[in-house]
Structure 1
Amino acid sequence: MINNVATWFELPVIDMPRAQGFYRSILNVSFKEEEMSGYQMAIFDAEEGSVSGMLILGEHYQPSANGAVVYFNGGADLSEPLAKVEASGGSVLMPKTPIHDGECGYFAMLLDSEGNRVGLYSQA
């Protein structure tokens, strides 16, 4: 078993259907929807043992462009999900940017449909 530093993340949302649509569009992901103690949750489907997280709507959760940044897997080429960001209700803050001249891959920063600052990473 891999000992990951991070084990879970929660992204606050204002509009759950809109947020799920955003992430479905740019990352081609699916969700398991749950509700618990007045919180609406959409858990990212992930392989057993991998780090994952959820979108969450409820008291004490507020989207932010100023806090910690979660980086999502941008797939084989970061250009593909980035091309869908604006049409899906988000905005690109930093375009595809090489890390050490591309030797360590590429990253980008964006605001999701809810106002959360998130990152994307890919090898190409």
Structure 2
Amino acid sequence: MNINVASWFDIPVTDMQRAKNFYQTLLATTFKDDEMNGLQMAIFASEEGAVSGMLVQGECYQPSSTGTVVYFNGGEDLNLPLDRGLQNGGSPILPKTPIHDGECGYFALLSDSEGNRIGLYSPS
């Protein structure tokens, strides 16, 4: 039985290369490029069995600042990816914020290079 609630996510983009640069810098990750049915896709590198997703550009995919929020793993120190994101075209929405006085970790919200609202989470 899969214990993850989510199994996949799509992040809409309008400029694939700009978005890939943003997320590669933010998360220190790589992508596998693909195309299907007129959609341009960049799939996040992930370990076997891990929940993952992709950047996707196509007519029916529009970035949104008010839609669903995907929270990314911010590692041990949320400040590191948050700073990288803000220095690479992201805009602050909510700074690093403790959850229950920090007992449950920290989160932050920012706007990505495409205008999507995204989150970061870390235990410290």
Q: Into which bin does the TM-score normalised by the smaller protein fall?
A: over 0.9
TM-score under structure 2 length normalisation? 0.97
Give me the identity figure in percent. Answer: 64
How many residue pairs were aligned?
124
3-state secondary structure, aligned to 1:59: coil
- Equivalent residue letter for 1:11: I
TM-score under structure 1 length normalisation? 0.97
C-alpha RMSD of the superposition: 0.8
Which residue in the other structure is 1:47 paired with? 47
3-state secondary structure, aligned to 2:84: coil
How far residue 84 of structure 1 moved from its aligned partner, in angstroms, is: 1.5
Which residue in the other structure is 2:62 paired with? 62
Q: Which runs of 5+ in 1 are unaligned?
A: none
Runs ≥4 in structure 1, deviation > 4 angstroms?
Answer: none
How far residue 70 of structure 1 moved from its aligned partner, in angstroms, is: 0.3
Which residue in the other structure is 2:6 paired with? 6
How far residue 86 of structure 1 moved from its aligned partner, in angstroms, is: 2.3
- Equivalent residue letter for 1:34: D
Which residue in the other structure is 1:72 paired with? 72
Q: Which runs of 5+ in 2 are unaligned?
A: none
CA–CA distance in structure 2, aligned partners of residues 2 and 103 of structure 1: 27
